[in-house]
A = this chain, B = another copy of it.
Amino acid sequence: MSQPPVWYEHIHTCKQTGARLGRVHTPHGTFMTPAFMPVGTQASVKGMSPEEVSGMGAGIILSNTYHLWLRPGSEIVAKAGGLHKFMNWNGAVLTDSGGFQVFSLAKPKDIKEEGVKFSSHIDGRKLFLTPEDSMKIQNDLGADIIMAFDECCPYPSEYDYADRSQARTTRWLERCIASHKNPDTQALFGIIQGSMYPELRKKSAEAITSFDLPGFAIGGISVGEPKELFLEMIDCTVPLMPEDKPRYLMGVGTPDYLIEGALRGVDMFDCVLPTRMGRHGTILTDYGKKIIRDKKHAEDFGPMDPECGCYACKNYSAAYVRHLIKANEMFGLRLCTYHNIYYLLKLMERVREAIAEDRLGDFKEEFYKRYYGN
């Protein structure tokens, strides 16, 4: 493999925790890590303009293979000149493989070696997706980082099933690599599975990282397991991942999980949490969730989050946003979503600063005091 399109530059290791500060270079710019990636499932970060998302400091967003395959169709995105041009986003883009959605829509008996049969969530029609299809779609979409088609086991899963599944994920990765058409412009990341079994995580990590890929991800956690198990799985997986390549923890998440992940050497995270919570009129703060639609904010004329400097908190009162949400006004969801994405991007900035200053452990302790304290 020649120089990969995406590569990791290490800047500093936190002396207190071993967490790492770095930079990921892509064909569409560079972003600092640890980084949170806002999710734009259907080629739009829900409610936001691309300028708003980049203006908040996001260098990369995530989009969804399964959803774009169904609607508008990956050929249309390709004809439009790819995802960046289609959605007018000049930063980096990562597409997931569609595996996560497909497995949630498939019956166990329909998961075969060749691929997966499942029903469309839009019209119920039967569809079939293979590793080759996923690569073809992701090549059409043209994201900077594309993900291998893997099986994300539900929690809990039997050991034997999880073992067979992670072995298949490795075989599927081989097929992904073989069918990936643009290795010079799109970086394919492999995904480590193994459910909640340290032994299987090790097996999967060794198999997946044996391929010379530009980056690797931890999949199949943050799927409903207790936090202890979540942490244990990261603890046993990260040390098996190459130091010179970006590490991506899929589907995370909440402020505490982001901090825990960063602390253990993870570089990239994604989650629908800030947009989904925003659409329900709830915001993230250092003191936990705040339900703006609650009656108690009816006459709360201060900002939603007094410690926040975002557009929503600087210009609007909690009372106004509550009114908009109660009245089903789109702009209320925009303001909550704006705040939530800003909050997580700023949180990662604070995490990076703490790493640079060798005090991520202290940061976590202080953060937890507020986050769980009240």
Contact = CB atoms under 8 A, between A and B. Distances in A.
Contacts of A324: 42-44
A333 B331 CA distance: 11
A272 B320 CA distance: 21
A266 B101 CA distance: 56
Contacts of A2: none
A316 interface: yes
B76 A319 contact: yes
A79 B332 CA distance: 20
A71 interface: yes
Interface string A67-95: 10001100010011100001110000000
A12 interface: no
A262 to B, nearest CB: 30
Given A299-B79, A301-B80, A331-B47, A320 B42 contact: no
A86 B320 contact: yes
B315 A43 contact: no
Contact of A80 (B46, B48, B319, B327): B319
Given A88-B316, A315-B88, A76 B331 contact: no
A302 to B, nearest CB: 11
A330 B337 CA distance: 12
A310 B43 CA distance: 21
A370 interface: no
A49 B48 CA distance: 11
A180 interface: no
Contacts of A43: 320, 323-324
Contacts of A47: 330-331, 334
Oligomer copy total = 2
A67 to B, nearest CB: 8
Contact of A71 (B86, B316, B326): B326
A362 interface: no
Contact of A320 (B80, B317, B332): B80
A243 interface: no
Interface residues of A, number: 36
A198 B111 CA distance: 75
Interface string A298-319: 1101000000000000011101
B49 A298 contact: no
Contacts of A322: 72
B86 A331 contact: no
Contacts of A331: 44, 46-49
Given A315-B88, A323-B71, A324-B44, A76 B330 contact: no
A72 B42 contact: no
A329 interface: yes
Contacts of A88: 315-316, 320
B298 A86 contact: no
Nearest to A87: B320
A331 B52 CA distance: 12
Interface of A: 42-44, 46-49, 67, 71-72, 76, 79-81, 86-88, 298-299, 301, 315-317, 319-320, 322-324, 326-327, 329-334
Closest 8 A-B residue pairs measured CB to CB?
A72-B323, A47-B330, A42-B327, A44-B331, A44-B329, A88-B315, A71-B327, A86-B320
